[in-house]
Amino acid sequence: MNSFLNTSRPPVFCPGCTHERITKSLDAALIKMGIPDHKTVIVTDIGCSGLFDTFFNVHALHGVHGRALTYAAGLKLADPSLNVIVTMGDGGMGIGGAHVLSACRKNMDLTLIILNNFNFGMTGGQYSATTPSDAVVGSEFLNQAEIPMDICGVVESAGASYVSRISGMDDGLSDELVRAMEHEGFSVVETLGLCTGRYTKRNQLTPKVIDQMIEQRPSPGGVIEKNQRPEYGNRYRQLAKEKGKFSDPFVVKKLFDMPDDRRHEVVILGSAGMRIVTAGDMVCFAGISGGLNVSIKNDYNITVLRGQSVSEILLSPEKIGYTGIESPTVVLALSDEGVARRQKIFATLSPDTYVLKEASVAIPDTPAQVEEIDFKAMKIKKTDWALASLAVLAKHEIVLNKDMLVFALKSRFNEKVFNLSMETVNKIL
Amino acid sequence: MASVFMEGNEAVARGAMAAGCNFFAGYPITPATTIFNNMLKMLPPRDGVCIQGEDEIASMGYCIGASMAGKKVLTATSGPGISLYSEHISFAIGSEIPLVIANVQRLGPSTGSATRGADSDIQFMRWGSTSGAPVIVLAPKDAKDCLELTVHAFNFAEEFRCPVFIASNKEIGMTKESFDMDDLNLPPLVERTPYTGSGPYVPFAADPDKSPPFLPIGGTTLVRQTSSTHGPDGYITIDPQVIAAMQQRLHTKLTAAMDRITLYEETMVPDTDTLVISYGITSRAVTDAATALAAKGRPVSTLSLKTLWPVPEALLVEKAARFKKIVVIEMNLGQYVTEIKRILCGKPVEFYGQMNGTMIPPAKIMETIENE
């Protein structure tokens, strides 16, 4: 290919703008790469650097300010065979800083060209994240109160595996871009350039000054040895391949007849760490095996192993509508924290409601029938109280029976855990 | 009877897999996180890609890139994440990028309550983007709906090339329930129409009431995509006629297909004078309330909307026609009711809404209906 430039869309930059030189160098680099046009995509965002995609006859995606790297990452993960080039100004680099850092950490095979011209050209020369504090820009004095960031320093410390800084007018730019594209990993090339429309009108910035800047802060030189590691996509695909196989949802058939055919509302009041949610699931598995419709809502703190853990379970021969608890038929009071969370329900319980209360737990006055059981005296550990209380229900044939409980335990646990849980169950039954 | 037992969030993930989803990017947020967790289990064994973005904006950006490479993409979040999605929702609307967004709503405003439900974002999903061009929003009422509507959402996203929301709710997403897999009614899968013309590919050339045929970035034909106002060729345009045609098409491609986009359930009881309209988790309490009212000799009819946006105007007008009174119940302080009042102007519309972190109980709905 002689050129990838789009002859129907010639560059439209201000006279003397370095972006035009960079456009030509990028074209020269693409020619040297020798890959077909449809294997390259140029991804851009907003600002003068955001015009780049229109100048080339390759795939193009132009998006929102600062987010170009995110589209590029999606494209590269979806199609690893693509040569993905991102152009971004110092503006896009500033607003999309989180994406730049993330791309450095990931080390995806993308080539980011940051066209640093020290200000926001398109909106009137306001200061950017790279504007020197002593520059005269369109933001009055604001840049004087900040310092510019060192792009190469930041991306190198964030983990970019290829980092270089070069004048946008450097004759070696196309070769530098080729090296960056050929590098398998995240490459960042910072080009320094002149914004003739805005910046150089009020600041003494010339090609020579840019060369001096690079002499003072030399390029990290490309490949960053300490940051070399597998490319993200390759690593991702390797790790993903080791993942287990797709698991279909667990199907439970009706196997048993329920002890009674009525609707039940079961509330388990416990604390985090007491396996309340697991016990709730057991009740549900048992209910489904009895041919019922079930639902369960759990209420626990976002911190782990602290605070209440409450499960609210509905079992019904009818389709379940409202999933809230309205009139509980069973309440398992297993910890003071859990009881405190649903204190108000006790006074409203019906005389038919069965309340199981562990001996150490205090409950408010209630018209319901209360059975007190001292699990501690039975040498059952607190973490097994919820399971033990299900065994009590099975013994009384409330909500479930022994066969249903055993079925539920078998469905949920592996053999070892099943056997351990049966030891607890057998202490009751 | 053989049942599965899962929460709404798992059902969304299973629906996505059934629809052929092969890319997910998201950022953890309660109560939507378990969609991400499930996709992370389900996608890798099926050669799909599932990644965590550095934030919500990035997650949507990854999805946009992957969708433009031809992937079927899903993301999931809650209200605070939808706020951050906004700029990319606008991009996907204007540039016709298919994607499905599961919004497991929680109580707002702002960070609000991570573990308390509400239908907080019903207007936000529709209007939280620039330009006012429409999106599709589907509201499930239970886990089974989550699975079915996610497949519909992918179909709509593919056909109409626009973002499609699943307006779930903490009370559906994080509630586990049983349902019979044999009752599932999944639509046949729809894929985006590939460009097969003989001339040069013009990426946004389309009939005035259709989305444009698609070719992926990375294919042998060069593709242009842009977030800026563009003509059919994908280049920036300032031609008012071209702009007007593109803007209009974003609306017309959906309104012309409302028959197919409109999904709902109804229970029409003869000789009733009241129609109760609801959606999502609340419609289940409405069903309970209607059953209890019928037993008390005060039967009502019910309409449960599954397609919220674009508003199924023709359906609402038709279904409401014979009723003297309309009652709207929703789990916020009045968002969708404004649409219903607008469309059924002149009809008396009673409203009950609740925004306290708990579901509206059937008793409250009965009270509203009986007190009118």
Q: What is the CATH number of the domain that holds A109?
A: 3.40.50.970
Query: Do A289 and A225 belong together in one domain?
Result: no
Query: Do B192 and B224 belong together in one domain?
Result: yes
Q: What percent of chain B has pLDDT over 90?
A: 98
Q: How far apart are CA B234 and CA B227, in angstroms?
A: 9
Cite the DSSP H helix spans in A274-325: 276-289
Query: Do A60 and A187 belong together in one domain?
Result: yes
pTM: 0.97
Contact between chains at A79 and B217 (C-beta distance less than 8 A): yes
pLDDT at A261: 80
Confidence of residue B33 (pLDDT cuts 50, 70, 90): very high
Query: Do A136 and A35 belong together in one domain?
Result: yes
Checking if the pLDDT of B28 tops 90, the result is yes
CB atoms inside a 10 Å sphere around CB A403: 15
Tell me which H or E stretch contains A274: none
Q: Give A291→chain B minimum CA distance, Å.
A: 7
Query: Do A124 and A166 belong together in one domain?
Result: yes
The answer to whether residue B252 neighbours chain A at the CB level (below 8 Å) is no
pLDDT tens, A387-418?
999 999 999 999 999 999 999 999 989 999 99
In a domain, A55, yes or no: yes
pLDDT at B50: 98
CB nearest to B225's CB, from A62, A81, A297: A62
Query: Do B171 and B246 belong together in one domain?
Result: yes
Strand (E) positions, chain B?
2-7, 23-26, 49-52, 73-77, 99-105, 136-138, 163-169, 176-180, 224-226, 264-267, 274-279, 301-305, 307-309, 325-330, 349-353
Contact between chains at B61 and A99 (C-beta distance less than 8 A): yes
Give the mean pLDDT of chain B: 97
Residue A309 DSSP class: E
pLDDT at B372: 61
Strand (E) positions, A193-338?
222-223, 251-253, 264-271, 293-300, 308-316, 330-333
Contact between chains at B41 and A322 (C-beta distance less than 8 A): no
Query: Do B67 and B97 belong together in one domain?
Result: yes
Average pLDDT over residues B266-282: 98
Report the alpha-carbon angle A280-B6-A296, nearest 5: 35
In a domain, A10, yes or no: no
The answer to whether residue A304 neighbours chain B at the CB level (below 8 Å) is no
Query: Do B33 and B147 belong together in one domain?
Result: yes
Contacts of A295 in chain B (CB under 8 A): 175-178
Q: How far apart are CA A160 and CA B174, in angstroms?
A: 39
Query: Do B20 and B67 belong together in one domain?
Result: yes
pLDDT at A161: 98
Query: Do B252 and B278 belong together in one domain?
Result: no
Query: Do A86 and A194 belong together in one domain?
Result: yes
Confidence of residue A177 (pLDDT cuts 50, 70, 90): very high
Domain end call among B234, B261, B288: B261
Query: Do A284 and A224 belong together in one domain?
Result: no
pLDDT tens, A17-50?
999 999 999 999 999 999 999 999 999 999 999 9
Checking if the pLDDT of B1 tops 80, the result is no
Give the mean pLDDT of chain A: 96
Residue with tokens 């070069």: A166
Query: Do B235 and B305 belong together in one domain?
Result: no
Range of the domain at B325: 266-370
Q: Give B139→chain A minimum CA distance, Å.
A: 16
The answer to whether residue B328 neighbours chain A at the CB level (below 8 Å) is no
Query: Do B250 and B272 belong together in one domain?
Result: no
Q: Give B8→chain A minimum CA distance, Å.
A: 11
The answer to whether residue B84 neighbours chain A at the CB level (below 8 Å) is no
Q: What percent of chain A has pLDDT over 90?
A: 94
The DSSP bridge partners found for residue B186 are none
Average pLDDT over residues A366-394: 97
Residue in chain A lying closest to B52 (CA):
A102
Tell me which H or E stretch contains A380: none
- Residue A12, CB half-sphere, CA atoms under 13 Å: how many? 12
pLDDT at A258: 82
Average pLDDT over residues B131-150: 98
Q: Is the dihedral of CA A338, A344, A347, A349 positive or negative?
A: negative
Q: What percent of chain B has pLDDT over 70?
A: 100
In a domain, A207, yes or no: yes
In a domain, A256, yes or no: no
The answer to whether residue A74 neighbours chain B at the CB level (below 8 Å) is yes
Q: Give B355→chain A minimum CA distance, Å.
A: 16
Average pLDDT over residues A216-221: 95
In a domain, A247, yes or no: no
Among B residues 94-123, those touching chain A with beta carbons less than 8 Å apart: 114-115
Number of domains, chain A: 2
CATH code for the domain of B316: 3.40.50.920
Pull the structure tokens for residue B349.
Answer: 């519309």
Contact between chains at B62 and A74 (C-beta distance less than 8 A): yes
Query: Do A142 and A268 belong together in one domain?
Result: no
pLDDT at A360: 97
Q: What is the ipTM of this complex?
A: 0.97
Domain end call among B203, B236, B261: B261
Contacts of A48 in chain B (CB under 8 A): none
Domain end call among A241, A256, A280: A241
Checking if the pLDDT of B77 tops 80, the result is yes
Among A125, A134, A62, A64, residue whose Cα is nearest residue A92: A64
In a domain, A343, yes or no: yes
Among A residues 252-271, those touching chain B with beta carbons less than 8 Å apart: 252-254
Contacts of B3 in chain A (CB under 8 A): 251-252, 288, 293
Residue in chain A lying closest to B282 (CA):
A322
Query: Do B271 and B257 belong together in one domain?
Result: no
Query: Do A237 and A296 belong together in one domain?
Result: no
Do the beta carbons of residue B8 and residue B166 sit within 8 Å? no
- Longest C-alpha distance within chain A, in Å? 92
Average pLDDT over residues B7-19: 98
Checking if the pLDDT of A134 tops 90, the result is yes
Number of domains, chain B: 2
- Longest C-alpha distance within chain B, in Å? 68
Query: Do B272 and B151 belong together in one domain?
Result: no
Among B residues 38-57, those touching chain A with beta carbons less than 8 Å apart: 41-42, 44-46, 49, 51, 53-55, 57
Range of the domain at A48: 18-241
Residue in chain B lying closest to A61 (CA):
B225
Residue with tokens 């706020």: B83
Domain end call among B235, B261, B287: B261
Query: Do A269 and A161 belong together in one domain?
Result: no
The answer to whether residue A285 neighbours chain B at the CB level (below 8 Å) is yes
pLDDT at B2: 84
In a domain, A309, yes or no: yes
Query: Do B144 and B276 belong together in one domain?
Result: no
Query: Do B46 and B161 belong together in one domain?
Result: yes
Query: Do A133 and A279 belong together in one domain?
Result: no
The answer to whether residue B285 neighbours chain A at the CB level (below 8 Å) is yes
Residue B204 DSSP class: T
CATH code for the domain of A294: 3.40.920.10
Query: Do A232 and A277 belong together in one domain?
Result: no
Contact between chains at A297 and B62 (C-beta distance less than 8 A): no
Pull the structure tokens for residue A211.
Answer: 């060369």
Contacts of B33 in chain A (CB under 8 A): none
> Mutate which of A71, A312, A323, A344 to test chain B, going by most B C-beta atoms within 10 A?
A71
In a domain, A413, yes or no: yes
Contacts of A294 in chain B (CB under 8 A): 5, 177-178
Average pLDDT over residues A334-346: 96
pLDDT at A49: 95
CATH code for the domain of B248: 3.40.50.970
